[in-house]
Each structure stands twice: as structure tokens, then as C-alpha cells.
Amino acid sequence: MFVRNLIRFVFVLLTQVLVLNNINLGVNINPAFYVYFILLLPFETAGWALLLSSFLMGLGVDFFCNSLGMNAAASVFVAFCRPGIIRFLKSRREYEPGTRPTIRDLGVRWFFSYAFISIVLLHTVLFFLETFGFENADQTLIRILLSSGAAFVLVILVQFLFGRRE
């Protein structure tokens, strides 16, 4: 279990910094795909492990793109919100022991809302931290919308492509 998550950590980080950060679609579309790692951590992950691994993931991305601290802050924030989001979505369906937060185990609808909430949260924190204030809020909102959309499509795509095999 630990090894599988470690492999996912490396795969997601390298995809983000070597592939996605090099695809230039303008200022508005910068999908933070690395949130995929936080989304797919098992339900049983201890709180400290969840926070620390998310912090490291964010920091790793920061090291590669000169934004020291920004991605780390956003990613820790999402990790902090994750138990809350899971509890919020739980009201509709009970989690059995051994289930994992994937499409295969919990269905398309559950995963879509889970991914959507987390991704929008991440980009909101990230882009407001980047402008460091609320000037140009309209441009920031457009960036949040477009980037979240792109990240959402990516996460769903990867989940459909690789999620079934795991």
C-alpha cells in the first residue's frame, strides 16, 4: 500500500513538472494535476501522513517552478479539508471497510463531486496566493474556473485510464 502510494507520488509529481508545466496554454489555464495524489490517498491514511505528504507534494512542485510555498500552502489546505469533504459526501452513501476513493469503488457520481470540490478549493487558494491580494479578482476567478476545469478533466481521464487496473 505504502509503495503504491509512493510510486503514485513520484509519477504525479513528474507528470506535473515535466509535462504539464511545459504545456503553455496562457496565463489562464494552469491545471494543478498533482491534486490527484491527495485525492487517491486511502481513507485510512493517518492525519499527519495526509498533511505531510501533501505538503511535500506541493513543495516538490514549487521547487520546480519558482513559486516557493504557494503550491505547498494550497495543497496542505486541500489535505486539511479532505476529511471534511469525505464526511460531507458520506451522508449519501456508507463507506465499507476496504473501499478506496476511486471511481471503481464508489462510483462516478461520488468521485466527480469529490474531485470537483477538492480541485476548485486548491485552485482558489493557489491563484489568490499568487496574486497575493484581491486586486484583479475577476481575472483570478477566470483563472480558477478554467484551470479547475482543465485539472478536473485530467483527473477524471487518468482515473478512467489507470484507475480500473489498480
Partner 1 sequence: MKNLITFLWKYYFFFLFLSLEVVAVLLIVKNNYYQRTIIINSTNDVTGAILKTSDGIIEYFHLKKANQILAEENVNFRKMLPQSFLKTDTATFFRDDTLYNQQYTYLTAKVISNTTNRINNFIKLNKGKNHGIEKHMAVLAPDGIVGQVIEVSDNYASVMSVLNSHTRISAKLKSSGQVGTLIWNGENYRLGKLVDIPTHVQIQINDSVFTSGYSYMFPEGQLIGTVSDYELESGQSFYQVDVVFSCDYNNLRWVYVVRNLMQKELNLLDEAEEIF
Q: Which residues bind partner 1 (CB under 8 A)?
A: 18, 21, 24-27, 29-30, 47-48, 51-52, 55, 58, 62-70, 72-73, 76-77, 79-80, 83, 129-132, 139
Task: Return the number of the residue (26 or 97) whose C-beta is nearest partner 1.
Answer: 26
**CB-CB contact of 101 with 43 (8 Å):** yes
Q: List CB contacts of 111: < 8 A, sequence separation 6 or more.
A: 101, 102, 103, 156, 159
> Cβ of residue 125: shortest distance to partner 1, in angstroms?
10
CA atoms within 13 A of residue 7's CA, in its CB half-sphere = 5
Task: Return the number of the residue (6 or 108) whose C-beta is nearest partner 1.
Answer: 6
> Cβ of residue 137: shortest distance to partner 1, in angstroms?
14
Tell me the C-alpha distance between 12 and 37, whole Å. 7
Task: Return the number of the residue (19 or 108) whose C-beta is nearest partner 1.
Answer: 19
Task: Return the number of the residue (2 or 48) whose C-beta is nearest partner 1.
Answer: 48
Tell me the C-alpha distance between 51 and 129, whole Å. 19
> Cβ of residue 143: shortest distance to partner 1, in angstroms?
10
Q: Give the closest residue to 5 by CA, choosing from 65, 48, 57, 69.
A: 57
> Cβ of residue 130: shortest distance to partner 1, in angstroms?
6
